[in-house]
């Protein structure tokens, strides 16, 4: 009996020490996911209202981040479109956001690897999948445009979103489907992550990460937040 009590005590001390070490190696992020959304929302509002302050773009900030490493507070997957410059539209600077950009904000293996680096290794509490209006890649997928070379497999990744938009809006045709397909494509990238990235799933399940969708309007400059995937808990169970 005494022996087993000692074993339990030893085990407990070991567990606490390991836990302590794990916490020491894994500091809590300076901001929560909701604070990160607030920060991005405030930056976007400054941008839209012409009050951008261009934070963290000084020589001192560059030197500080070079010496101390990066501690961005959000990972963002968005489109390569030149009208969607993230640091500009969120009024952010050096070392603030960990950015993955690819035409159509699709989520293939390379994007997934970059996202896993951002959310697990760098440890951002927030991941945003940002689609945008007037997206050429989504439009190409919707209109079944003739594309060649390596563009074809990229556009093919958007096909499930187009199918979903068509099913939801049988009355719409051609380019009328683009807004709905753009939103479905944001959800599609989140679904790809949950289906194929165990690391991302684990980060969400353990409460370290929040994933939200959003759409950027290239005309107004405004970001419209979509929130978490409506079927997130169901997708995580799969």
Residues that bind Zn ion (CB under 5 A): 79, 81, 135, 137
The residue among 137 and 142 lying less far from Zn ion, judged by its C-beta, is 137
The residue among 79 and 129 lying less far from Zn ion, judged by its C-beta, is 79
Closest distance to Zn ion from the beta carbon of 94 (Å): 25
The residue among 89 and 137 lying less far from Zn ion, judged by its C-beta, is 137
Closest distance to Zn ion from the beta carbon of 65 (Å): 28
Q: Is the CB of residue 166 less than 8 Å from the CB of residue 142?
A: no
Closest distance to Zn ion from the beta carbon of 93 (Å): 24
Query: What is the dihedral sign for C-alpha 155, 157, 160, 165?
Result: negative
The residue among 3 and 219 lying less far from Zn ion, judged by its C-beta, is 219
Range list of H helices, the chain: 2-25, 33-48, 59-68, 86-89, 109-116, 136-142, 151-156, 159-168, 178-196, 198-205, 232-237
The residue among 135 and 141 lying less far from Zn ion, judged by its C-beta, is 135
- Helices 178-196 and 109-116 pack at an angle, to 10 degrees, of 70
Please name the residue that has the structure tokens 């001390």. 13
The residue among 36 and 137 lying less far from Zn ion, judged by its C-beta, is 137
State the Cα–Cα distance between residues 165 and 158, nearest whole angstrom.
Answer: 11
The residue among 4 and 150 lying less far from Zn ion, judged by its C-beta, is 150
Closest distance to Zn ion from the beta carbon of 165 (Å): 15
Residue environment code for 160-199, b if the CB has 16+ CB neighbours within 10 A, otherwise e: bbbebbbeeeeebeeeebbbbbbbbbbbbbbbbbbeebeb
Concatenating the DSSP letter of every residue in 183-217 gives HHHHHHHHHHHHHH-HHHHHHHHTTS-EEEEEEE-
Closest distance to Zn ion from the beta carbon of 137 (Å): 5
Q: Please list, in sequence order, all residues whose beta carbon lies within 8 angstroms of the beta carbon of residue 197, skipping any fewer than 6 positions away.
A: 112, 115, 116
Closest distance to Zn ion from the beta carbon of 135 (Å): 3
Closest distance to Zn ion from the beta carbon of 131 (Å): 8
């Amino acid at each position: 009996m005494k022996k087993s009590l000692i074993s339990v005590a030893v085990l407990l001390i070991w567990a606490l020490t390991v836990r302590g070490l794990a916490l020491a190696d894994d500091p809590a992020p300076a901001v929560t996911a909701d604070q990160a959304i607030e920060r991005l929302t405030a930056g976007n509002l400054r941008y839209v209202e012409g009050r951008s302050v261009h934070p963290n773009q000084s020589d001192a900030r560059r030197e500080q981040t070079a010496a101390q490493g990066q501690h961005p507070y959000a990972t963002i997957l968005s489109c390569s479109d030149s009208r969607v410059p993230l640091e500009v539209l969120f009024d952010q600077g050096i070392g603030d956001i960990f950015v993955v950009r690819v035409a159509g904000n699709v989520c293939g293996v390379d994007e997934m690897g970059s996202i896993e680096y951002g959310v697990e290794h760098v440890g951002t509490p927030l991941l945003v999948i940002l689609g945008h209006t007037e997206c050429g890649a989504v439009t190409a997928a919707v209109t079944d445009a003739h594309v060649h070379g390596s563009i074809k497999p990229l556009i093919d990744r958007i096909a499930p979103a187009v199918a979903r938009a068509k099913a939801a809006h049988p009355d719409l045709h051609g380019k009328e489907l683009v807004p709905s397909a753009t939103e479905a494509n944001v959800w599609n990238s989140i679904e790809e992550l949950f289906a194929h990235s165990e690391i991302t799933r684990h980060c969400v399940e353990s409460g370290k990460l929040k994933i939200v969708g959003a759409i950027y309007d290239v005309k107004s400059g405004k970001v419209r937040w979509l929130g978490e995937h409506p079927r997130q808990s169901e997708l995580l169970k799969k």
